[in-house]
Amino acid sequence: MYQYDQHDQAMVDARVAEFRGQVARRLSGELTEDQFKPLRLKNGLYLQLHAYMLRVAVPYGTLNSAQMRVLGDIADKYDRGYGHFTTRQNIQYNWIKLADAPDILADLAKVQLHAIQTSGNCIRNTTADHFAGAAADEVADPRPYAELLRQWSTFHPEFDYLPRKFKVAIIASETDRAAMRLHDIGIQIVKNEAGEIGCKFFAGGGMGRTPMIAPCIAEFVPALQMISFLEAALRVYNRHGRRDNKYKARIKILVHEIGVAEYSRQVQEEFAHILTLGLEPPPAELERIKGMFADPGLESGLSDDLDRSDPDFALWVDQNVHTHKQAGYAIVTISLKPVGGIPGDATAYQIRLMADLARDYSLDELRVSHAQNIVLPHVKKADLYRVWQALDAAGLATPNLDLITDIIACPGLDYCALANARSLPLAQKITDRFADIGRQRELGELKLKISGCINACGHHHAGHIGILGVDRKGVENYQLLLGGAESADTSLGTITGPGFSEDGVVDAIEKVTDVYLARREGAERFLDTYRRIGMAPFKEAIYG
């Protein structure tokens, strides 16, 4: 994993000192809330419905156990004993006091964490494949490139007041586990025919009220020109992105309005200019970073044998454990989606327990996935049963990864000032309705995603089943969408028709799954059946 040197540490420490000064100016009344707002947003501090919320960056979703433990300690010390892992691979604390915020940032800085650029119209925290470095199908570990990107984007002087927020995701395999093409810029690390590593760039993806799938804007940019290309792509957006309407300000609108060919042409023109400036970090810097990710300490020659005699354990292995690139190891996903729970929430105790398990059984590494779960990327198969027992005792062994109760949901009207409807109680009701694990497994892979408003933080456009909460004359109402997907076959969901009450939408989901069970052929997933038979049979069942 990446370790700060004195330079990185000095940057983060400087930020803590700066923010401490700004908070003092606000508390003394020297700054008004209007003046303070853009400053606190640059440090991930939002004012929600009931309290301040602090969003802590987890760069490319990777944590070590010491960092994870501090995240648990902060939940205890400054919040109400829990934290919320988000679709941006970050963690949010929902009950923060303004006066405590600088101390929290100082605690984070001691373990090389921060809240820099987790909000505001700037380049946000870069997200990445949560199986990076452990997946068998990657052409390279994408995290060294993500770290190079983190440094470049940190306090970038030209791109701190963009038309709108800007999210970059990076992957390095054909299987997209990061919803890469639903980001402002998506990067896929690829190998060309000569065996050289480079970046395939996508631009203009996003969700929100105008969901779009990012088109490719460059097939192959040499890895050692990645930063220069990003400078060009961002500069064209900063110059020409719309600023007259915040709902049309994301890069997706620019790419859509001028066309992908014209946007690409302008980027290439600027790229050619920027290459003459020599501002790309040297190869030695990428090598330095790569060196820290190269070998997490994997042993070779370990056995793949597994004792599956405990049926509950075997069920969990089948559902929540993935193949590791190294024989004898496995990738464990810890579900933060228990029946009746709040998707992505973990108590301080659970967070510290996961930290301990990472230290003892996963070469000190954890990941946060964009599906709001936690990953232990390097667990020996010989240790799996012990890890499962410890998780089970803490309520963390729900065997539901990618099943209907593995719901992504935004915080909704319970916390968020922008929301039109509550997301969390609905998620709880759906998990209650489908609580039976046998029934869930019968339904198979089924990604259900809930957003409490049109901003789509719950990724409802990309759900096999998506739910959008809206406000209809003062009453919460839920629209149902079918057929979205976020993987290599990214697609956007289609609205079924008129919306439902909270209970009504749970009934409608049940009818939708009944249609699937009746109509599926062979090993079809829900999504496959939907794509084959179309919307009509589902509509008939729901409204007929």
Partner 1 sequence: MVETVLRYRTDEPVGDPAVTVDAFAAQSNATAVRIEPGDDALALLPHLERIALIEVNFPSFADGRGYSAARSLRERGYTGELRAVGDVLIDQLSHMRRCGFDSFAPDKPISAEAAEAAFATWPEVYQQTVDGRAPIWAARHPAAKA
Residues found near partner 1 in the complex (CB under 8 A): 5, 7-8, 10-11, 14, 18, 38-39, 121, 151-152, 154-162, 235, 238-239, 243, 273, 277-279, 281-285, 288
What are the CA-CA distances from residue 169 to residues 188, 205, 369, 425 (Å)?
A: 9, 11, 12, 30
Q: At its nearest, how many Å lie between partner 1 and the CB of residue 75?
A: 30
d(C-alpha 219, C-alpha 202), whole Å: 9
Which two structure tokens, joined as six digits, stand for 360? 């003892």
Helices 226-240 + 251-258 axis angle, to 10: 80
Residue at token pair 């629209």: 479
Smallest separation, CB 285 to partner 1 (Å): 5
Residue (21 or 498) nearer to partner 1, CB: 21
Q: Which two structure tokens, joined as six digits, stand for 470?
A: 């809206």
Residue 34 vs 295, nearer CB to partner 1:
34
Q: CB neighbours of 237 closer than 8 A, spacing ≥ 6?
A: 162, 163, 166, 251, 254
Comparing CB distances to partner 1, the nearer of 284 and 523 is: 284
Cβ neighbors of 140 (< 8 A, separation 6 or more) are 172, 189, 191, 197
| CA–CA distance, 226 with 187 (Å, rounded to integer) | 9
Distance between CA atoms of residues 481 and 217, nearest Å: 29
Look at the chain and count its residues: 544
Specify the residue, 137 or 158, whose C-beta has the smaller distance to partner 1: 158
- Quick one: which of 223, 218, 192 has its CA closest to 203? 218
- Give the shortest CB-253-to-partner 1 separation in angstroms: 16
Minimum Å distance from CB 46 to partner 1?
17
Smallest distance, partner 1 to C-beta of residue 287, A = 9
**486 C-beta neighbours (distance < 10 Å), count:** 27
State which residue, 222 or 281, has the beta carbon closest to partner 1: 281
Which CB atom, from 24 or from 517, has the smaller least distance to partner 1?
24
Residue 283: CB minimum distance to partner 1, A: 7
Closest distance between partner 1 and the C-beta of residue 228, in Å?
A: 11
Closest distance to partner 1 from the beta carbon of 258 (Å): 15
Nearest approach in angstroms of CB 423 to partner 1 is 29
Nearer to partner 1, 276 or 309 (CB): 276
Residue 322, both tokens: 């993935």
Nearest to residue 530, comparing CAs of 485, 469, 478, 467?
485
Contact (Cβ atoms closer than 8 angstroms) between residue 63 and residue 132: no
- Which pairing describes strands 408-409 and 448-451: parallel, antiparallel, or unpaired? parallel
Indicate the residue among 244 and 295 with the shorter CB distance to partner 1.
244
Instruction: Report the nearest approach of partner 1 to the CB of residue 18 (Å).
Output: 6
User: Which DSSP letter does residue 430 get?
Assistant: H
Comparison of 60 and 152: residue with beta carbon closer to partner 1 = 152
- For 75, other C-beta atoms within 10 Å of its C-beta total 24
Partners of residue 201 on adjacent β-strands = 187, 218
Return the number of the residue (157 or 438) whose C-beta is nearest partner 1. 157
CB contact at 8 A, 128 and 178: yes
